[in-house]
């Protein structure tokens, strides 16, 4: 039985409810009256349920599709303005005991180089990341209770926060590690993590079990109920995601929204972010063996429908996607992107020889952070290195209420400008600096509150004079 409030995976991601949703969407996708009603509801900016959003995703009418894209752009502008938050992944270890058939870290892969960073290695990687200008990391590790126990992850987080190189510092560490216990989530919370990210990969139980044939990740319920345990452990910013390509995208989309509805129903707060990765080529992995690859058009529509369905949830696009595709989906609701990413263990310091590759997948966007920052500004965005919210205790429902009260323009917008100014002062090339300084001068006028505007002006001068880390 479908029950969004249940603590059981098979009840809150109920297979029959997903199938009924797909049937409903298929039956109604050309009912223009209904599509219009759903679009009207979406314009209230309070989101849509999984059935309504699935009708929009299924709708093939070109005019209505245009309207969907247009509305997603409007909602993105209203809630997130033109800021894009930047981050980088940091791979700690690729030792893994699981058998995930799409991932090169799977246990049976004997030709990938297995690596695990020591605390000294981490210090070097973090220094390299700080030297690029990064302030926000997502740490990644394979699942291996012996090689990568929770104590190793906690020690690594401590090391990352402790490195202060020149004006650099990592101010927010998000964590993408395998599903774990309430006790371990509590320890992660105490270590000061930002978001706990765990991709579901697929919500389709039968496929999930086939795609994860061996290892602890095989347990569908344990994996799907991980965010409930994370919330119980005190982590109220959680990041959902599906690995598109593994199963039918319409199934995944409906189930992903059901997961968000479940978190909202039980904990009163939906997911902080949603990631939309697609399967990429990797060592021992050919993405073409998975039948459910999605086109760029469908990918864009998924982004737009997600933006409309959950207006308060950030959308993340990684360097798995190309510059061109990232540019296409940015206006549709994306709020965070990674830049200059390496998916190899130790890859920021040491280029790997051909016969010692440890990377997780091929990245498509290989530009430097400076190039990404300049590009964002040239196409109308403010690159943001802001990490203020969780450091000010604005997590979970407190962050959501900031969004809902439309105070973002007096809070996130100034923080974006001040952290961009730090980046320009410390790390940017002269060309990027020139573009950025002009942008800040223009954007400062878009801070509605006069007192805040004045404060930001003063802080920008202080940053120019060498002070760092201002936030609202
Ligand atoms: N081991 C952890 C877990 O089980 O969730 C950490 C996550 S892993 C380092 C990060 C994510 O990369 C996975 O959740 C998966 O969705 C994604 N991934 C794995 N193989 C991939 C591939 N070939 N192409 C694109 N993404 C992939």
Please tell me the distance between residue 106's alpha carbon and the centre of ligand 1 in angstroms: 10
Q: Quote the ligand 1 centre to 205 CA distance (angstroms).
A: 18
Examine the pLDDT at 401 and tell me if it is beyond 90: no
> Do residue 411 and residue 352 come from a single domain?
no
Q: Is residue 344 part of a domain?
A: yes
CA angle 51, 55, 59 (to 5 degrees): 170
**Tens digit of each residue's pLDDT (9 = 90 or more) over 276-313:** 999 999 998 999 999 899 999 999 999 999 999 999 99
Q: Is residue 95 part of a domain?
A: yes
* Shared-domain flag, residues 330 and 190: yes
Which among 92, 97, 248, 101 is positioned nearest to 159, based on CA atoms? 92
Domain limit, last residue, from 341, 366, 391: 366
The CATH number for 119's domain is 3.20.20.70
User: Hey, what are 105's tokens?
Assistant: 């870290």
pLDDT (mean) for 116-140: 98
49 within some domain: no
Q: Write out the DSSP string of 296-354.
A: HHHHHHHHHHHHHH-TTSEEEE-TTS-HHHHHHHGGGT--EEE-S---STTTTT-PPPG
Domain boundary pick from 313, 348, 366: 366
Model confidence at 420, pLDDT cuts 50, 70, 90, reads very high
For atom 21 of ligand 1, the residue with the nearest CA is: 103
Please give the Cα distance from 208 to 99 (Å, whole number): 12
Which residue among 143, 176, 287, 343 has the greatest number of ligand 1 atoms within 8 angstroms of its CB, and so is best to mutate? Answer: 176
Return the residue whose CA atom lies nearest to atom 5 of ligand 1. 178
Closest-CA residue, ligand 1 atom 25, reads 279
Q: What is the residue with the minimal CA distance to atom 6 of ligand 1?
A: 177
Rounded Cα gap, residues 94 and 86, in angstroms: 24
Q: Which range, of 6-10, 29-33, 285-289, averages the lowest pLDDT?
A: 285-289
CA dist 126 → 13, 46, 165, 218, 401 (Å): 38, 39, 9, 33, 33
Residue located nearest, by CA, to atom 26 of ligand 1: 279
Using CB atoms within 10 A of its CB, is residue 299 exposed (0-12), middle (13-18) or buried (19+)? buried
Domain that residue 355 falls in: 77-366
Q: How far is the CA of 16 from the centre of ligand 1 (A)?
A: 27
Q: Given a cut of 90, is residue 124 above it in pLDDT? A: yes
pLDDT band at 85 (very low <50, low <70, confident <90, very high): very high
Phi, psi of 108 (to 5 degrees): -80, -10
- Residue 215 has a pLDDT of 98
pLDDT given for residue 71 in this prediction: 98
User: Cα(75)–Cα(362) distance, rounded to whole angstroms?
Assistant: 32
Q: Are residues 431 and 309 in the same domain?
A: no
CA 192, CA 198: separation in Å to the nearest integer? 17
State whether 243 and 96 are in the same domain. Answer: yes
Judge contact between 309 and 259, C-beta under 8 A.
Answer: no
Write out the H or E segment, with its range, that includes residue 388: helix 388-391
Cα separation, 350 vs 386, in Å, equals 28
416 and 359 inside one domain: no
Residue nearest to atom 13 of ligand 1 (CA): 199
Other Cβ atoms less than 10 A from the Cβ of 31: the count is 14
442: confidence class by pLDDT, cuts 50, 70, 90: very high
Please tell me whether residues 190 and 248 are part of one structural domain: yes
Give the burial class of 48: count Cβ atoms within 10 A of its Cβ; 0-12 exposed, 13-18 middle, 19 or more buried: buried
Query: What's the rounded mean pLDDT across residues 134-143?
Result: 98
Query: For residue 39, what are the contacts with CB-CB under 8 A and spacing of at least 6?
Result: 56, 64, 67, 68, 71
| pLDDT value at residue 417 | 98
Residue 355 confidence (pLDDT): 83
Task: List, chain by chain if needed, residues with CB within 6 Å of any ligand 1 atom.
Answer: 102-103, 140, 142-143, 176-178, 198-199, 201, 217, 243, 277, 279-280, 282, 285, 320, 360-361
**Confidence class for position 394, pLDDT limits 50, 70, 90:** confident
CA 40 to chain centre: 28
Which tokens hold the place of 28? 């109604």
Q: To test the ligand 1 pocket, which listed residue (277, 318, 320, 357) has its Cβ within 8 A of the most ligand atoms?
A: 277
Q: How far apart are the C-alpha atoms of 41 and 43, rounded to whole Å? A: 5
Please identify, by atom number, the ligand 1 atom nearest to the C-alpha of residue 278: 25
pLDDT value at position 304? 98
Residue where one domain finishes, among candidates 366, 396, 424: 366
Q: Based on the domain organization, do 199 and 289 belong to the same domain? A: yes
pLDDT tens for 142-180 read: 999 999 999 999 999 999 999 999 999 999 999 999 999
pLDDT at 433: 98
Do 133 and 230 belong together in one domain? yes
- The predicted pLDDT at position 451 comes to 95
How confident is the model over 446-463, as a mean pLDDT? Answer: 95
What is d(CA 408, CA 172) in angstroms, rounded to the nearest whole number? 19
Same domain membership, residue 236 and residue 134: yes
Domains: count for the chain: 2
Residues 302 and 222 in one domain: yes
Distance CA 128, CA 112 (A): 24
Q: Which atom of ligand 1 is nearest to the CA of 198?
A: 5
Ligand 1, closest atom to CA 241? 16
Q: Does residue 395 carry a pLDDT above 90?
A: no
Q: What pLDDT, on the 0 to 100 scale, is given for residue 397?
A: 80
> Is 92 inside a domain boundary?
yes
Q: Which of 100, 101, 103 to mutate to test the pocket of ligand 1 (most atoms within 8 A of CB)?
A: 103
User: Residue 140 C-alpha to ligand 1 middle, in angstroms?
Assistant: 9
Q: Cα of 105 to ligand 1 centre, how many Å?
A: 9
Mean pLDDT across 93-98: 98
Q: Are strands 136-141 and 83-93 parallel, antiparallel or unpaired?
A: parallel
pTM of the full structure:
0.97
Does the pLDDT at position 36 exceed 90? Answer: yes
In this structure, is residue 7 part of a structural domain?
A: no
Can you tell me which atom of ligand 1 is nearest the CA of 140? 9
Same domain, 306 and 416: no
> Looking at the domain assignment, is residue 456 inside a domain?
yes
Query: pLDDT category, 112, cuts 50, 70, 90?
Result: very high
469's CB contacts (< 8 A; 6+ apart) are: 169, 171, 422
Ligand 1 centroid to Cα of residue 198, in Å, is 9
Q: Do 251 and 355 have their domain in common?
A: yes
Evaluate whether residue 333 is within a structural domain: yes
Q: What is the pLDDT of residue 396?
A: 78
Distance from the CA of 373 to the center of ligand 1, in angstroms? Answer: 26
Closest residue by Cα to residue 135 from 360, 323, 373: 373
Measured CA to CA, the distance from residue 76 to residue 453 in angstroms comes to: 23
The mean pLDDT of the chain is 96
Residues with Cβ within 8 Å of residue 240, at least 6 apart in sequence: 198, 199, 200, 227, 256, 259, 260, 271, 273, 274, 275
Tell me if 401 sits within 8 A of 393, measured CB to CB: no
Tell me if 36 is assigned to some domain.
no
């Amino acid at each position: 039985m479908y029950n969004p409030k249940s603590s059981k995976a098979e009840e809150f991601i109920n297979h029959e409810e997903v199938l009924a949703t797909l049937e409903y969407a298929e039956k109604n996708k050309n009912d223009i009256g209904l599509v219009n009603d759903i679009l009207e509801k979406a314009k209230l900016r309070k989101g849509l349920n999984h059935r309504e959003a699935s009708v929009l995703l299924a709708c093939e009418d070109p005019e209505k599709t245009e309207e969907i894209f247009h509305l997603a752009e409007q909602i993105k502008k209203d809630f997130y303005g033109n800021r894009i938050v930047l981050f980088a992944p940091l791979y700690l270890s690729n030792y893994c005991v699981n058998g995930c058939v799409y991932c090169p870290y799977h246990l049976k892969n004997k030709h990938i180089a297995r690596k695990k960073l020591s605390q000294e290695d981490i210090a070097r990687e973090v220094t390299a990341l700080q030297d690029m200008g990064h302030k926000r990391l997502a740490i990644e590790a394979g699942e291996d209770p012996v090689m990568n126990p929770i104590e190793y992850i906690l020690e690594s987080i401590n090391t990352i926060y402790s490195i202060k190189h020149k004006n650099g510092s990592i101010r927010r560490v998000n964590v993408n590690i395998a599903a774990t216990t309430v006790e371990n989530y509590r320890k992660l919370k105490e270590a000061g993590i930002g978001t706990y990210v765990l991709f579901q990969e697929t919500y389709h139980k039968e496929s999930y079990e086939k795609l994860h044939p061996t290892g602890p990740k095989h347990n569908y319920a344990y994996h799907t109920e991980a965010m409930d345990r994370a919330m119980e452990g005190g982590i109220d910013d959680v990041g959902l995601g599906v690995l598109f390509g593994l199963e039918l995208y319409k199934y995944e989309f409906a189930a992903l929204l059901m997961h968000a509805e479940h978190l909202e129903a039980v904990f009163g707060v939906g997911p902080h972010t949603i990631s939309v990765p697609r399967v990429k080529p990797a060592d021992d992995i050919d993405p073409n063996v998975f039948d459910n690859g999605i086109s760029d058009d469908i990918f864009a529509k998924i982004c737009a429908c997600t933006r409309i369905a959950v207006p308060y949830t950030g959308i993340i696009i990684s360097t798995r996607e190309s510059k061109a595709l990232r540019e296409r989906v940015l206006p549709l609701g994306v709020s965070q992107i990674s830049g200059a990413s390496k998916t190899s263990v130790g890859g920021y310091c040491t280029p790997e020889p051909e016969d010692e590759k440890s990377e997780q997948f091929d990245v498509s966007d290989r530009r430097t952070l400076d190039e990404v920052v300049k590009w964002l500004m040239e196409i109308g965005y403010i690159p943001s290195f802001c990490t203020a919210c969780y450091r000010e205790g604005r997590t979970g429902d407190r962050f959501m209420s900031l969004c809902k009260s439309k105070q973002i323009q007096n809070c996130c917008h100034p923080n974006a400008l001040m952290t961009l100014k730090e980046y320009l002062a410390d790390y940017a090339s002269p060309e990027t600096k020139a573009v950025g300084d002009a942008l800040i001068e223009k954007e400062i006028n878009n801070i509605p509150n006069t007192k805040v505007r004045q404060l930001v002006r003063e802080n920008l001068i202080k940053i120019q004079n060498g002070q760092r880390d201002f936030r609202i």
